[in-house]
Amino acid sequence: MDVTEAHLKVSTDRRGAGLLASRRFLVTGGARGIGAAVVAALSAQGANGVIFDLNADGAAPAGWPVVSVDVTDEAAVREATCALDTNGPFDGLVAAAGIVPPWQSPANIDLEVLDRTMAVNLRGFVIALKCLTSAMPAGSTVVAIGSLNSWRGDPNLLAYVASKHAVLGAVRSAAMALGPSGIRVNAVAPGPIATEALLERIDARAAVTGCQRAEVLQDFSRPTALGRLATAEDVADAVLFLSSPLSSAITGHLIPVDSGLL
């Protein structure tokens, strides 16, 4: 059993069940990747809810319908959430919908790519906040998926970095605004996670970098304190913590999940 397999076994064994019993969540981008891992973790702790994802064919646990919604469309998000109000208000939001654009230098950046990246990564989060939080009861939680690029730059990903910096600003501002109502707002900052989407990007960049998948993943792992990549399940555990009473005094913060990129 390697380090990652052993970690996943411990992670699964410690969760138990029932930490979020009777709580209702909306997870955007929850049909695959990190979002799907989050839904699985919330469901395992007794939560139910709804997934908003353009990939409405994705598998999901029982009690978690997948609704095809463009998170950048305020009218569509509001219509979808209003249609679900008969089941009561949501008391948890996880904003996992996001995109990573292709590499572009600042001198050659496509402004339409910039606009689309900001729309999905920032606007989508803010729309969800706007549509849900006015009806959320005290004790509710909001968790956004940020990034290590919420605080550091990348010469090839100006649009993505700008969007994730903006998400952190939105989290901090929303935490201040919603705190008096008893709603906590936080974010997690994954390092490189070997999701299908990341592997596809590595393969697409191979023509430029000359590096194959295994080599890139090893390069990502080498500088971490734990000597391994964090997993989607690691990120889901952090979201679970921030969505539970175990973090009742934490709001306005960004928690790195990166195996120790120090």
Write out the catalytic residue numbers: 160
Coil vs helix vs strand at 236: helix
Between helices 232-242 and 33-44, what is the axis angle to 10°? 50
CB-based contact 119:73 (threshold 8 Å): no
What is the CA 119 to chain-centroid distance, rounded?
A: 15
Between helices 74-83 and 124-132, what is the axis angle to 10°? 40
Q: What are phi and psi of 103, to 5 degrees?
A: -60, 135
